[in-house]
Structure 1
Amino acid sequence: MMSDKKIKNIFVNGAISPSFISESIAKHSSKTEIGGHSIFLGQVRKDEIDGKSVSAIEYTAFEDLALEKMHEIRENIFEKYPLSCMHIYQSLGRVSAGEICLFVFTSSAHRKPAINACEEVVERLKAELPIWGKELFEDGSHQWKENK
């Protein structure tokens, strides 16, 4: 059964900045029941494909569907693990090679639930959410990215 919790928006425009990530961590210092955090940061790679270098990825999504699905995953993870909190941020739009495009942050009284929940959220998000990346090459060409 779905709870009446509000569906959270996970999408941010462009890259996720290091200052945003550090502020998110700092905000948890008052939550003294937390003993462990697990953080996953997805970064755009400068892959070389057929002799061409990726300069950026442009992310698009079926936003409403993705947010509904993420809400289901979030509810499921909270039922499965004793988490204090969970934060998920996914870039939309252009993110250059070397920049952060995904930030998943889970917290718990003990490290194991935070680590396991973080890993499961990342895997499910990649497998189940309608989010696509178009690889933009330095020569101006592009192709749709395979989700791995």
Structure 2
Amino acid sequence: MISVTRENFDINAVIDQIRRPDMGALVTFLGVVRDDGGIEEMELEAYEEVAVKELEAIRDEAFRKFPIGAVEIVHRIGRLRVGENILLIVVGAGHRKEAFDACEYILERIKQSVPIWKKEIRSEGERWVPGESTGDDA
């Protein structure tokens, strides 16, 4: 599953989608909105059609680069409060090293190239976060 959604996701349901007997490792990354010195909410916007295609391309790159068996990526958009889920990456592989390496690769590629932008909402005002697509929160 590759998804850009406004809805929250069930982490266990996503993990269960890729669980197979030949996978000895299921590595997950869960990015959440954090209170980074006064953040009340975060707004995430995306060019959704392109974001999905880029996530699919990143998944395909990971399959070519690493001996993995499955990848699931779910990225939320919309207005989110502190503590809410932003990004879930699940990688399944025969062994943990490959799964960890692939998960980290996917995360870094998402931050570099997926057209998803974030705005921090604080009591003193709002600001778009320059630079990375989803930044350090996810």
TM-score bracket, normalised by the shorter chain, equals: 0.7 to 0.9
TM superposition shift of 1:81:
1.1
Q: Does 1:45 align with 2:38?
A: no
- 1:144 aligns with 128
Deviations along 1:82-115, whole A, 9 cap, x unmatched? 2111000111101111111010000001111111
Cα distance in 1 for partners of 2:16, 2:50 equals 31
Q: Any stretches of 5+ residues in structure 1 without a counterpart?
A: 1-7
Q: CA RMSD in A?
A: 1.7
Q: Any stretches of 5+ residues in structure 2 without a counterpart?
A: none
Cα distance in 1 for partners of 2:108, 2:95 equals 21
Q: Does 1:130 align with 2:115?
A: yes
Between Structure 1 and Structure 2, whose CA radius of gyration is higher?
1
Cα distance in 2 for partners of 1:132, 1:80 equals 27
TM superposition shift of 1:27:
4.1
The amino acid that maps onto 1:21 is I
- Give runs of ≥4 in structure 1 deviating > 4 Å: none
TM superposition shift of 1:58:
0.8
Aligned to 1:116, which of 75, 94, 101?
A: 101
- 1:34 aligns with 23
Identity of aligned residues (%): 30
Cα distance in 1 for partners of 2:81, 2:102 equals 28
